[in-house]
Amino acid sequence: MSGGFEGKVVWITGASGALGRASAERLAAAGATVIASSRRRETLPESERIVPLPLDVTSSAAADAAAQEIVARFGRLDGLVTSTNVPVFGDFLELDDAAWQQVIDAKLLGTVRLVRAALPHFIAAGKGSVVVLSGRGGIDPSPQHLPGSSVNAALILLVHGLGAVYGPKGVRVNAVSPGPIKSPRLDALNAAGTGKPSQTPIPGPGLPTDVADAVAFLLSDEARFITGANLFVDGGGRALP
């Protein structure tokens, strides 16, 4: 798949991160106009086809306003990719409520807020596609990443439910669950001492572009009959004991 997104507008949050940025570049190369969001304007990608739009996903009002601004400015919204990450790692007994709350607010509720902001526009158009970045930890938890793993499990369930509810309205909702992907986040997880080697049947770690290809596929019309699904991009690692 190379093109396929000409004339389409895709909103990516967490776009300054390793996987969000790779997805933004992948979709822009395929012809999309990409609206790139995260909190800090200065770290967002920007190019002829990538338009930065700073946003903190912990605010529902800001998420709603951003969706409305995109539709007002570009005339349409075809896709949403949520790729927010909160790097909270550590032993269970060392992580307090505030640490858990941070992950739940930005990644779980952040995704809820973004989908809620974009859905009315998709429903009005009779079509739209959402890809939520979850993680393999959602079914195979990392001992040093239990807040993130728990939220990833919740997101897989959320996607499953949203796929069923909004399929009849023409809206597809899917998840991508990366395993170890070469990134600062993987370095931080390894530094926290996961207790588990990140071994994969296909030698890894994977690359951000591996995830971006999966995101682009699920977002595209080539995935027209796929919704509520969770696509692992983990080199087959979940199969290992």
| Contact positions vs ligand NAP (CB under 6 A) | 13-20, 38-40, 43, 55-58, 83-87, 106-107, 133, 135, 148, 178, 180-181, 183-186
Of the pair 105, 127, the CB lying nearest ligand NAP is at 105
**Shortest Å, Cβ 145 to ligand NAP:** 9
**Shortest Å, Cβ 236 to ligand NAP:** 15
Q: Which residues of 41-79 are buried (b: 16+ CB within 10 A; e: fewer)?
A: eeebbeeebbbbbbbbbeeeebbbebbeebbeeeeebbb
Of the pair 13, 33, the CB lying nearest ligand NAP is at 13
Answer yes or no: are the C-beta atoms of 60 and 37 closer than 8 Å.
no
Of the pair 17, 128, the CB lying nearest ligand NAP is at 17
Nearest Cα to 115, choosing from 149, 72, 165, 189?
Answer: 165
Answer yes or no: are the C-beta atoms of 34 and 5 closer than 8 Å.
no
Of the pair 17, 228, the CB lying nearest ligand NAP is at 17
Of the pair 134, 227, the CB lying nearest ligand NAP is at 134
- Return the residue nearest ligand NAP (CB atom): 17
Nearest Cα to 16, choosing from 49, 48, 52, 47?
Answer: 52
**Shortest Å, Cβ 132 to ligand NAP:** 8
Q: Which residues contact 48 (CB under 8 A, 6 or more apart)?
A: none
- Say which amino acid occupies 214: A
**Shortest Å, Cβ 154 to ligand NAP:** 12
